[in-house]
Amino acid sequence: MGEIRTVAVIGAGPVGLAAAAHLLERGLDPVVLEAGPAVGHAMRQWSHVRLFSPWGYDIDQAASRLLAPTGWNSPDPQAYPTGGELVERYLEPLATRTALGSHIRTTARVTGIGRVGFDKVKTSGRERAPFELRYRNGAGDETLVADAVIDASGTWFSPNPAGASGLPAIGENAARERIAYGMPDVLGAARARYAGKMVAVLGAGHSAAGTLIDLATLARHAPGTGIIWLLRGDDPAKSFGGGAKDKLAARGAVGLMLADLVAKGGLRVETGFRVSRIEPADGAVRIAATMPGGARDVVVDELIVATGFRPDLGFLNELRLGLDPALECPKALAPLIDPNEHSCGTVRPHGAQELAQPEPAFYIAGMKSYGRAPTFLMLTGYEQVRSIAAELAGDRQAARRVELVLPETGVCNVTASGPASGCCGGPPTSDASACCAADEAARQAGAGGCATQHGGCGPK
């Protein structure tokens, strides 16, 4: 890498803004490009959802240092904000009251990134060429030249489809009028759409659980509201999570509430339901599933698809990427977050080294860095960008240091065996002293650390 001065940050979500704060603190010049009309554009789409992590886990340290002299009223670290409150009380002040303001361009959607004068094939001298970012605003196509790029554009706007094979179900696109993706505000802005209707929710994660609980509340006040929970898997209990063992208590509580709802028959559960076709049916919609035992279908007024998200890699086409073929995340991260291996929310902190790409000075951070894996925490993203900013500023020691203890979730189902799996999902990388802060503390106290003693930070 040559000397780094200007760093393009894609996305003004919590992680993109934290990246900009760390870069600024290190004397670099961040330029944040945000597709939406205001910061926190993705989070504003789920502003009604209460976070399961309290304020203490939601604020980046560098951002906090920028805010402190502005007279910012920092929120109670124990309280749980909604997405809307996080935007209003943290992201907006950060973008309007601090030096970051002049570094943010809104309504600026990045549509492509290349290297100035180099197409993807050309190698010699490539790493010395700056990046060229093409973005679109109200005035048309614009170009930004930058020495480094951090893509923190999240995944909210590219939800997974309903189809069980990863492709949209036959008819899914045509039935869009009766389908919502993610977490619609069924008790607020979208109440009229769902009250008194038969509603199916497809998915097994936290978003599906939260929506099912909200629909059950709606059903108590709006007679005629019916709920069907469609699950691809065979065991609803897998969605109940760590319950009381989850150190993020609010997340554990969602699982317990869902378990209670199912036990009391508050909703109909269809397991093993792999959606293949969605078609109109007399003013409603028929959702059909094909499975080994034969075909099944349900007819509902509305379908809410909460099957997770995937990264938009389209605008990264001209860059050389090394992504895991299944998860579409940076390769080194895949073993730590692969849901086939563990459902562990306790991923060891990681940074510039794990997130490095074959394209020098290009990083994917934040929610997008997890690709299709579902367990991302904002706090993890803050540590990622702290480390990346240090690396870009030439402070390799700080880039490699672990500065974070993540909450244990108690929801780990680790299937991999052997000592390595006892270390927050993996052993320390070759030039890091420990796999995570708890491991570091154990080693410094003379103990063997997580990988050898199965104490510390690993699943007990």
Ligand X SMILES: Cc1cc2nc3c(=O)[nH]c(=O)nc-3n(C[C@H](O)[C@H](O)[C@H](O)COP(=O)(O)OP(=O)(O)OC[C@H]3O[C@@H](n4cnc5c(N)ncnc54)[C@H](O)[C@@H]3O)c2cc1C
Residues at the contact surface with ligand X, assessed by CB under 6 A: 10-16, 33-36, 41-43, 46, 49, 51-53, 109-110, 152-154, 156-157, 183, 207, 315, 366-367, 376-379, 381
- Nearer to ligand X (CB atom), residue 66 or residue 110: 110
- Nearer to ligand X (CB atom), residue 85 or residue 297: 85
- Nearer to ligand X (CB atom), residue 206 or residue 274: 206
Rounded to whole angstroms, how far apart are CA atoms 148 and 181? 33
Rounded to whole angstroms, how far apart are CA atoms 131 and 427? 34
Min dist. Cβ of residue 368 to ligand X (A): 6
- Nearer to ligand X (CB atom), residue 51 or residue 289: 51
Q: Which residues are CB-neighbours of 211 under 8 A, at least 6 positions away? A: 183, 184, 186, 201, 304, 306
Min dist. Cβ of residue 357 to ligand X (A): 17
Min dist. Cβ of residue 421 to ligand X (A): 23
Rounded to whole angstroms, how far apart are CA atoms 293 and 302? 26
Min dist. Cβ of residue 387 to ligand X (A): 15
As a whole number of angstroms, the longest Cα–Cα distance in the chain is: 70
- Nearer to ligand X (CB atom), residue 171 or residue 210: 210
- Nearer to ligand X (CB atom), residue 51 or residue 402: 51
Q: What does DSSP say about strands 131-137 and 284-291: parallel, antiparallel, or unpaired?
A: unpaired
Rounded to whole angstroms, how far apart are CA atoms 70 and 65? 10
Distances from the Cα of 44 to the Cα of 61, 157, 185, 301, angstroms: 22, 12, 11, 26
Count Cβ atoms below 10 Å from residue 388 Cβ, excluding itself.
Answer: 26
- Nearer to ligand X (CB atom), residue 213 or residue 298: 213
Min dist. Cβ of residue 399 to ligand X (A): 19
Min dist. Cβ of residue 157 to ligand X (A): 6
Rounded to whole angstroms, how far apart are CA atoms 270 and 386? 44
Min dist. Cβ of residue 248 to ligand X (A): 7
- Nearer to ligand X (CB atom), residue 207 or residue 276: 207
Min dist. Cβ of residue 247 to ligand X (A): 12
11 three-state secondary structure: coil
| DSSP assignment letter at 89 | I
Cβ(420)–Cβ(387) under 8 Å? no
Cβ(315)–Cβ(111) under 8 Å? yes
Rounded to whole angstroms, how far apart are CA atoms 378 and 398? 20
* Angle formed by the axes of helices 249-263 and 206-221, nearest 10°: 60
- Nearer to ligand X (CB atom), residue 179 or residue 379: 379
List the one residue out of 53, 52, 35 whose CA is nearest residue 44.
35
Min dist. Cβ of residue 312 to ligand X (A): 6
HEC string of 21-84 equals HHHHHCCCEEEEECCCCCCCHHHHHCCCCECCCCHHHCCCHHHHHHHHHHCCCCCCCCCCCEHH
- Nearer to ligand X (CB atom), residue 15 or residue 198: 15
Min dist. Cβ of residue 38 to ligand X (A): 9
